Structure 1
Amino acid sequence: MILTANRLNSVQEYYFSRKLKEVRQLVQEGKPIVNMGIGSPDLAPSDKVILAIQKALFDEKAHEYQNYQGLPELREEMANFYKEQFDVELNPTTEILPLMGSKEGIMHISMAFLNEGDEVLVPNPGYPTYESVSNLVGAKTVFYDLKEENDWEPDLDALESRDLSKVRMMWVSYPHMPTGAKGSLPLFEKLVAFALKHDILLVNDNPYSFVLNDNPMSILQVEGAKETVLELNSLSKTFNMAGWRVGMVSGSQKLIEAVLKVKSNMDSGMFYGIQKGAVAALQLGGNWFSEQNKIYEKRRKLIFELADKLSCSYDKQSVGLFVWAKIPDSEPSAEQFVDKILIENHLFVVPGTVFGSNGEQYIRFSLCVNEEKIKEVLNRF
């Protein structure tokens, strides 16, 4: 009998993988399911991006193995993007590493910096992959609370009271997924100071800065952050390129070199045409974001109406690609609430428990659904 590795005992099948099987079965049975669960942009990339990849297919070097560090011009545009959008100076040669999506970066970073038994601070609620990857590399996940009454920001005083001697890494994500909390530069300053004090690698996962957010920020804006910080970013949500798998990690040369050691043993470089398309995306400028946000703003207003119909409360000032809503106190649990509206109203949303125990009384709506579909769902209620 072929046995699986012991590390698989520490993780479960991804929630969306399991639940979408059920959703697909209902669709096959003829149920008119509307999926508001997944944050996969339904809008297309810019025509300029698509033309760039088409043109690139005929370049002489297009179909060869590519450099593990990506095209120099891609790294240059990533550096220009950070300078223009965040006023952060990055050396494109040594402080930026393109990734095949930021999700692979979570694994690469964990493999580069964590030993078996090391502890990792993971937000609750937060992106489930932080926990699963930590488990896969043999580290110990230590959850820290994010609560609505604290604006979904960590209580650093509470963290200071813990034994942090084994903590090697801390995951943060602002704008926060799933709650849409913006974060702030004062928060980033406190986080960087905390990480420096305790020799912790602080990793900010930052794919939502430009979605319905009038003040995009990078944690690298904090003076001295590069000593202890890596920041992940992605073109998936910002430029509607989720399936292209283009992301980046930025930080000091020493930290980037460590990640590259892992990455260079895991793949053979990103496809040339995708890199050329990414270059075109990064050159689009501010009008691209404003036009995308006009669409998302209309959708969000309709989702707010839907949340009202479900007697849910929410923060109108939140940002990002989702609406995080608190279900009525009379409901026994988020998962039962989600199952009820899936069966009765053929609407799939995500229970907050997917993101941690602090999501128990919450659900998450995705804005990756067109206005007509949202209106259709509104009519069902």
Structure 2
Amino acid sequence: MKQTAKRLDIVEEYYFSSKLREVRQLASEGKPIINMGIGSPDLRPSQAVIDAVTLAMQEENAHQYQSYQGLPELRNGMADFYATNYGVTLNPNTEILPLMGSKEGIMHISLAFLNEGDQVLIPNPGYPTYSSVTNLVGAIPVYYDLKEMNNWEPDFDALEKLDLSKVKIMWLGYPHMPTGARGSLKLFEKLVAFAKRHNILLINDNPYSFVLNDNPMSLLQVEGAKGVALELNSLSKTFNMAGWRVGMVLGNAACIDAVLKVKSNMDSGMFFGIQKGAIEALKSDKSWFKSMNAVYKKRRVLTEQLAEKLGCEVYKEGVGLFVWAKLPSGITSSEDFIDKILYEKSIFITPGTIFGSNGEGYIRFALCVKEEKVQEAIDRF
């Protein structure tokens, strides 16, 4: 076999890619696995969305290459969605770029702005893809602490003491993954001011703002944010379209143009039918969010009961698609803890360590399991 590129020496296969193989193997052996690990919504998109995709299949240009910037009506739909739900005005022609899921946006943004040796501020704990992509493009991760004592928000005094001269990008995401910390407009204002002082591109990863959250926020609500910031968003969790791969990056027009230069060399446009479904989803009114959250609220109550059955302390302030919980006193390894539960009770829970060193001592449950299955998990103890 040919020797692989050196960049692969500093990244590992994504945790869920490898761990889920192990979980599937146990299931194939007849183990009654309940998967509470990955945040892949099991609920359906609305029927109107499915109908829109079905109808689109018959349109004349449905199966041709599509625009790298997406259909104009999709960008308009994204602009209307932000105006209606966040009070943010965006130019659909210059400040919005549809993506095949926001995860690809992390790579596109990194390729557009990072040179080898540039530094990137990454939350600890945080989404593992920020680190892996930073390493893949030859930049250097610089981790900033998020801790429960600070409600999982950055310590700005500690940030100001860092040598920030080589920092080009700062990743953040509120509501926070994995903890569910809400964030606030006050926090966003401090982050924008920090980015301006140090000439840092601020990127908010915002896919969870409508899940169990009555106060959706956008970083772009802050005055002057467009001068220093981009925001990623996604239809995966908000509209139960994870497998459809529909996301967006929004904000500074010059930055959007730079990302487009990368993206246009890496794909040939999103499938027409999926774009039509996304347009319909973005028209959803508050009744959609209310009905979806009624389901998640019931699941959260049961999942908290399960966590407490395990002797864990639940982070009650969390919103979003997950329940974050501290391990029982005396337990030092979250990976050993979840493996014991996996092999003894056939329940898969995510260890906090995959999100960074500050995740040690915690575990994460996804709310993507039906109530009866969560109750079954409880009953197994």
Q: State the 1:223 CA deviation.
A: 0.2
- Contact 2:308 2:314 survives alignment (8 Å): no
State the distance in 2 between where 1:332 and 1:200 align.
36
Q: State the 1:378 CA deviation.
A: 0.8
Secondary structure of the 2:335 match is helix
Secondary structure of the 1:182 match is coil
State the distance in 2 between where 1:317 and 1:135 align.
33
The amino acid that maps onto 1:203 is I
Secondary structure of the 2:31 match is coil
Percent of pairs identical after alignment? 70
Q: What aligned pairs does 1:99-118 form with structure 2 within 5 A after superposition?
A: 99-118=99-118
Secondary structure of the 1:133 match is helix
What RMSD over aligned residues (CA atoms) do the two structures have, in Å?
Answer: 0.6
Secondary structure of the 1:48 match is helix
Equivalent residue number for residue 254 of structure 2: 254
Q: What aligned pairs does 1:301-380 form with structure 2 within 5 A after superposition?
A: 301-380=301-380
State the distance in 1 between where 2:22 and 2:86 align.
42
Q: State the 1:343 CA deviation.
A: 1.1
Equivalent residue number for residue 10 of structure 2: 10
Equivalent residue number for residue 123 of structure 2: 123
Equivalent residue number for residue 83 of structure 2: 83
Q: State the 1:316 CA deviation.
A: 1.9
The amino acid that maps onto 1:71 is L
Equivalent residue number for residue 68 of structure 1: 68
- 1:51 matches 2:42: no
The amino acid that maps onto 1:257 is D
Q: State the 1:315 CA deviation.
A: 2.1
The amino acid that maps onto 1:301 is V
Secondary structure of the 1:277 match is helix
Equivalent residue number for residue 203 of structure 1: 203
Secondary structure of the 2:254 match is helix
The amino acid that maps onto 1:299 is R
Q: State the 1:377 CA deviation.
A: 0.7
State the distance in 2 between where 1:315 and 1:15 align.
23
Equivalent residue number for residue 23 of structure 1: 23
The amino acid that maps onto 2:277 is G
Secondary structure of the 1:81 match is helix
Equivalent residue number for residue 173 of structure 1: 173
Q: State the 1:317 CA deviation.
A: 2.2
Task: State the Cα deviation string for residues 281-328 of structure 1 (Å, max 9, x = none).
Answer: 000111100000000000000001101101111122210000000011
Equivalent residue number for residue 296 of structure 1: 296
Secondary structure of the 1:25 match is helix
- Contact 2:200 2:228 survives alignment (8 Å): yes
State the distance in 1 between where 2:7 and 2:358 align.
26
Task: State the Cα deviation string for residues 35-82 of structure 1 (Å, max 9, x = none).
Answer: 000100000000000000000001111111111000000000100000
Q: What aligned pairs does 1:110-259 form with structure 2 within 5 A after superposition?
A: 110-259=110-259
Stretch deviating more after TM superposition (17-26 or 198-207): 17-26
Q: State the 1:172 CA deviation.
A: 0.2
State the distance in 2 between where 1:202 and 1:233 align.
14
> Unaligned regions of 5+ residues in structure 2, if any?
none
State the distance in 1 between where 2:197 and 2:289 align.
37
The total of aligned residue pairs comes to 381
The amino acid that maps onto 1:112 is A
Equivalent residue number for residue 38 of structure 2: 38
The amino acid that maps onto 1:195 is A
Equivalent residue number for residue 93 of structure 2: 93
Task: State the Cα deviation string for residues 10-44 of structure 1 (Å, max 9, x = none).
Answer: 10011111111111111111111100001000000
State the distance in 1 between where 2:332 and 2:223 align.
46
State the distance in 2 between where 1:36 and 1:49 align.
27
- Give the TM-score normalised by structure 2: 0.99
Secondary structure of the 1:320 match is coil
State the distance in 2 between where 1:80 and 1:276 align.
15
Secondary structure of the 2:22 match is helix
The amino acid that maps onto 2:170 is M
State the distance in 2 between where 1:206 and 1:337 align.
30
State the distance in 2 between where 1:46 and 1:315 align.
31
The amino acid that maps onto 1:311 is G
State the distance in 1 between where 2:332 and 2:203 align.
35
Secondary structure of the 1:143 match is strand
State the distance in 2 between where 1:325 and 1:301 align.
13
Equivalent residue number for residue 272 of structure 1: 272
State the distance in 2 between where 1:157 and 1:317 align.
24
State the distance in 1 between where 2:332 and 2:177 align.
24
State the distance in 2 between where 1:256 and 1:334 align.
39
Task: State the Cα deviation string for residues 339-377 of structure 1 (Å, max 9, x = none).
Answer: 111111111000000000001000000000000100111
Stretch deviating more after TM superposition (325-334 or 72-81): 325-334
Task: State the Cα deviation string for residues 134-154 of structure 1 (Å, max 9, x = none).
Answer: 000000000000000000000
Stretch deviating more after TM superposition (164-173 or 340-349): 340-349
The amino acid that maps onto 2:163 is D
- Give the TM-score normalised by structure 1: 0.99
The amino acid that maps onto 2:215 is N
- Contact 2:352 2:363 survives alignment (8 Å): yes
Q: State the 1:332 CA deviation.
A: 2.6
